[in-house]
Amino acid sequence: MKLLQNILVPMDFNASSINALHYAANISEAFNSHLILLHVFTAEKLSSKTEEMLKGLVLEKYETLQKEVGPAVAERMELVIQQGVIFEQIVRISIQRDVNVVIAGAGKQLGARLSTKIEKIMRKSQIPLWLVRNGDKPPVNKVLCPVDFSDASVRAMNNAIMLASKLNAGLLVMHVYAKIDIQSPRLQVNNEEENRILLQEKKKELAAFMQKFDLSAIRHEILLEEGHPDKGILEVIRRQEVDLLVMGTTGRTGLSRILMGSITEKVTREVPCSFITTKSQDIAKSWFESNLGEIETYLQKAREYHAGGDTELAIGCYTAGLKQFPDNIPMLQGLIALYVETGNDARAAFFREYAREVVKRIWGQEYIEKFGL
């Protein structure tokens, strides 16, 4: 399977999305990827005449873009036109077409608020998101991957290593930690000594973490920095002239907590380069491949609880899984069956309607009956 088999580019034909397309076109050449351009009509109801007219205009603009990217890229490119909510259509098409990464424009300038659709993708979608700053163009010569030793960092590192290797780029790996500074009239703390010990511990943690990865085939540098994570990232990007920042966004400590809590307010507003955020999948794997193991764990555990007679724990397990994978039909079917079994018709009806909406949104109305909903 190709490393990046399918790339989705949301396309509204403004300068930012066109810049993202040219960037994606260059990336697709390195990976021989298929490019899916998605244009969404957001109006709820359109007359057939208006719809045909708008589609004609979109097709004209698409033909112009085909000429701009050249015949080699145009052969690997297609246009998909949908109607509805932009964020929902991006997620729907990404799952339906097994998209590896969404490449989108990050906005007009540094400091500008990201668009609502981009913020929703970053916060709610499992699909990796590659945001391109206006004016950014390959080649990517230097990749930065901040780590905090969490599972999210492992995923980010795998992505960064793959990208650096394929794009023939150098890789910077950095960990940022806060120094100890205890100032109290009641406690006599030798901050200098404590920080010396802390530095040695961080060096050991970083070395142990890096042993999980093979960096022998790529140029790389490992940095241990003291300071605030968001400021440290930005300072290293500027100092080292980084072209691409790769971040995992589901960590729970240190760096990842800050990135999760204010990624749109701090890092993404100020970062002067393109960046990738990943939540629960590796960029080189398909959506289904990367999530199948975790989904199966939830399903198997819930079924074991049910078989053992513990309906409450089974419901809890399905519910927890649904928070991670809100469009998963087997989990929804499991909840419906359990609520029917326990006589909770209201909850069964709620999840049945939920499941029907998911099926209709992703596969279409005609599939509702096939899923027994």
d(CA 349, CA 355): 10
Q: What percent of the chain has pLDDT over 70?
A: 81
What's the CATH fold of domain 6-132? Rossmann fold (3.40.50)
Q: What are phi and psi of 222, to 5 degrees?
A: -110, 125
For residue 96, the tally of other CB atoms under 10 A from its CB is 14
What's the CATH fold of domain 287-367? 1.25.40
Q: What is the mean pLDDT of residues 290-305?
A: 78
> Over 70: is that where the pLDDT of 265 sits?
no
Highest mean pLDDT among 81-90, 166-175, 222-231: 166-175
For the chain, residues classed under CATH 1.25.40.10 are 287-367
> Over 50: is that where the pLDDT of 259 sits?
no
Tell me the residue ranges of DSSP E strands in the chain: 6-10, 34-41, 77-83, 101-105, 129-132, 142-146, 170-177, 220-226, 244-248, 274-278
Among 98-112, 194-208, 262-276, the least confident range: 262-276
For the chain, residues classed under CATH 3.40.50.620 are 6-132, 142-278
> Over 70: is that where the pLDDT of 224 sits?
yes
Label residues 147-164 b or e (16+ Cβ within 10 Å = b).
Answer: bbbbebbbbbbbbbbbbb
∠ CA 160-166-167 to the nearest 5 degrees?
85
Res 284: pLDDT: 64
d(CA 43, CA 110): 30
Q: What is the mean pLDDT of residues 108-136?
A: 68
Among 51-60, 329-338, 351-360, the least confident range: 351-360
Q: How far is CA 268 from CA 148, 161, 234, 246, 278, in A?
A: 18, 22, 10, 12, 14
Q: Is CATH 3.40.50.620 what the domain over 142-278 is classified as, yes or no?
A: yes
> Over 50: is that where the pLDDT of 255 sits?
no
Q: What is the mean pLDDT of residues 68-90?
A: 90
Per DSSP, the three-state class of 287 is helix
Residue 211 pLDDT level (bands cut at 50, 70, 90) = very high
